[in-house]
Chain A
């Protein structure tokens, strides 16, 4: 059974602080790893699509790294803002159609 784990489950961060969280996934049968942001009352939206070991992606203050050999990805948020409050999901793809989600990290930013 393939297992994708995210930690921590929830995180409370002061506005302006930087933070990071982890997605662990099987190191075999890797096809892709996606990060999604899910804001309350909205649909999940893709942040990053990562396919190669060593990939580093950046979008504004948010960045992600990927290590497929050891089976983990980190998501970093620099200088957290209230609009960063959301649940962050990682999705492990073992093929183009076989996708397993982690349970998410719920991030709350304190003003």
Chain B
């Protein structure tokens, strides 16, 4: 089945460690996105990529990094520079025709 796969679902990290969240899609979508959700807030855009080897900062990119070496993959690294990394992270891709976002099931990161 076509879709978006995020891993891991749950992740615990010690302060000062970098961690990478995986996002893979087999929908043949060009554009991919990373969002962060905190309690009581909407989804906030971290980074997005409209095409392979290109990506743009979103509203809250500080402390995060991404790469887009393959169309199917858009991993997000949460670096030690991110001051408050504990959150729920959602990856999505868009249908170029309608702009409809297709989401993964999310990754919950907890910093101990």
Contact = CB atoms under 8 A, between A and B. Distances in A.
Interface of A: 4, 6, 9, 31-32, 34, 36, 41-46, 49, 89, 91, 93, 96-97, 99-104
Interface stretch (B12-20, B42-50, B75-83): B42-50
Interface residues of B, number: 24
B45 A99 contact: yes
Judged by DSSP, the binding face of B is strand
Given A43-B104, A97-B50, A104 B42 contact: yes
A97 B45 CA distance: 11
A34 B101 contact: yes
Nearest to A2: B59
A108 B106 CA distance: 22
